[in-house]
Structure 1
Amino acid sequence: MKKVVYFLAVMFSFAAFSPAAMAAPEKKEKEKTELSPEEEARLTEINDRVEEIKAMDFSEMSKDEIKDVREELRGMKKEAKTMGGGVYLSVGAIIIILLILILVT
């Protein structure tokens, strides 16, 4: 049974990555969306606030304060994503998915 799962995992990885490797490189010009001055100002505010949060000392904060800061960061992240657009799948996420497939056996 393990051999079958390993075989399927390897075949899945080959099937997922080989079409991209074999395809001829296409030069696509990405359409850059122009941000309005209001959106640029908001994005600058978000970046400044993130830098402030990075500089904070969390050891002196209570759990509720830390939770509030975390929720604020999540909200700002969602807002920044909607301005920039795009969907990304990190390499770490792909590795985790493959490890889960292997460890399920």
Structure 2
Amino acid sequence: MKKATLYLLVFVMSMSFIPQTALGASVESTLLPNGDPKEVPVEVKAQLDRLNEIKAMDKSKMTAAEKKALRKEVKAIKTSLRDGNGGIYLSVGAIIIIILLLILLL
């Protein structure tokens, strides 16, 4: 019994380090959908064009309020693009808690 507990603990600890490698992807690669560029929906293409337009702007002559508004707009666009995938995301802590609850209940 102690051996099984030890193996389970080692398994949980080893699984907690694996998702950290997935965080190394760049932001641009997560914004673009997989597949052919011709398959990109119109609204996604418009949002990506707006992001590129904001990136190309000369922000040196803008006021602080204008820059803040642009930052909020960029965050909103990135959030909408990220949420458009429809996936379910679980943190490492949530996975560990779920596994511990399953062990205690079963």
Smaller-chain TM-score bracket:
0.3 to 0.5
Q: Please, what TM-score do these two structures have when normalized by structure 2?
A: 0.45
Q: Please, what TM-score do these two structures have when normalized by structure 1?
A: 0.46
Which of structures 1 and 2 has the larger relative contact order (alpha carbons within 8 angstroms, sep 6+)?
A: 1
